Amino acid sequence: MSQKNLLFRTQDEEILDTSRLDELERAFRAWTGEGGRTPRLSRLRILLIFLLIRYTGAKLQEVLSLGPADLDLQARAVIYRSGENGPPRQVAISQKLAAEVGELLRAAKDCPERFFAVDPAYVRKKFYERAEQCGFDKKSGGPEMLRKARAIEMLRNVPLPAVQRLLGHSSPNQTTSFVSFSEDDIQEVARLYVERESGRRTSARNSFYGKVLSLADDKVQTLVELLTPAGDRIFSIITNMSSGRLGLAPGKLVTAEVKAPWLALERCDAPGASSAENQLEGIVSRVTCGGIAVECVVTLKDGTELCSVLTAAGFNRLRLKAGEPVRVLFGAYAVILHAG
């Protein structure tokens, strides 16, 4: 198996990264457009099953059990009913995906109501075929592996407790601060993520989801204090005009982004020597060295990954390596806010 096709390997499992998942999606879409009307309707089912697993991380059986009442396209949500294993859970989907689901269902309006009632073995066979078509190991394109790939994809930017809830896992032990985030808040965090994911590609690779704790303004600027579900506090300074345009108020959920070059690093084995308003501690998880710059990925306690880009000389002075604790520093002016 070529390394270019994979981002993660866990034990004997190969998990596709975002670019490979996108490649797999393109293969499904091209395959769906082939053939006559009857084969196309059958393929629409498979495409829709793939999209729901790809973007909601659901189990195959959960998707195959969906009925019309479980698709709330106006609210842009899918309701998975896990039966005896637990209560129903609602998972947000993007406006773009909701529109496409509606279009696909209308194209198959003459099909039985149980649109998703497809033989699981047949679904797996078609998933494996598309994966092999892309040059991947067939198992990496299976429903279970796609679910894991989606979980890893979301964990880069969405707090671990939120991802676990959305996937239907048992809730982990939560910090006191996380308790202040209601189920509606968690759904809003997911909605903010999927809309940002589907609507634009940004170079600001570091994202936080937070609730506005406080606002302090003067004649020109506003200091915004956010609380993340993991309990971290993020500070941003924006203009009063921007604060008004975003409709900021205590309790409002927003997305905060910081570009990789604006993140500085500091070793944790020495007292802090920075006046940066934002200081978060994590573990170095990956280091990619270039001749001019070094990309260092830091994993915070809630699983969020932050990417810092430093000069090679600056990184060498820090003497950091994977597995070591590190402090991530960035100023309040470096934080860009987005409201849903």
| pLDDT tens sequence across 239-250 | 999 999 999 999
Average confidence (pLDDT) over 48-77: 90
Average confidence (pLDDT) over 293-313: 88
- Give the separation between CA 98 and CA 89, rounded to whole angstroms: 17
Q: What is the pTM of this model?
A: 0.57
CB atoms within 10 A of CB 143: 20
Question: Is residue 86 left, alpha or beta, with left meaning phi > 0 and alpha meaning psi from -120 to 50?
Answer: left
Average confidence (pLDDT) over 305-329: 92
Give the residues across from 211 on adjacent strands.
Answer: 227, 253
- Please name the residues in contact with 27: beta carbons below 8 A apart, sequence gap of 6 or more: 130, 133, 134
Nearest-5° angle of CA 194, CA 124, CA 84? 70
Task: Look up residue 73 and give its DSSP letter.
Answer: T
pLDDT, tens digit, for every residue of 34-46? 766 556 778 888 9
Average confidence (pLDDT) over 256-284: 90
CB atoms within 10 A of CB 89: 19
Give the pLDDT score at 8: 44
CB 258 within 8 A of CB 228: no
pLDDT, greater one: 135 or 200? 135
- Binned at pLDDT 50, 70 and 90, residue 86 comes out as low
The domains of the chain, with CATH numbers, are 3-155 (1.10.443.10), 260-330 (2.40.50.100)
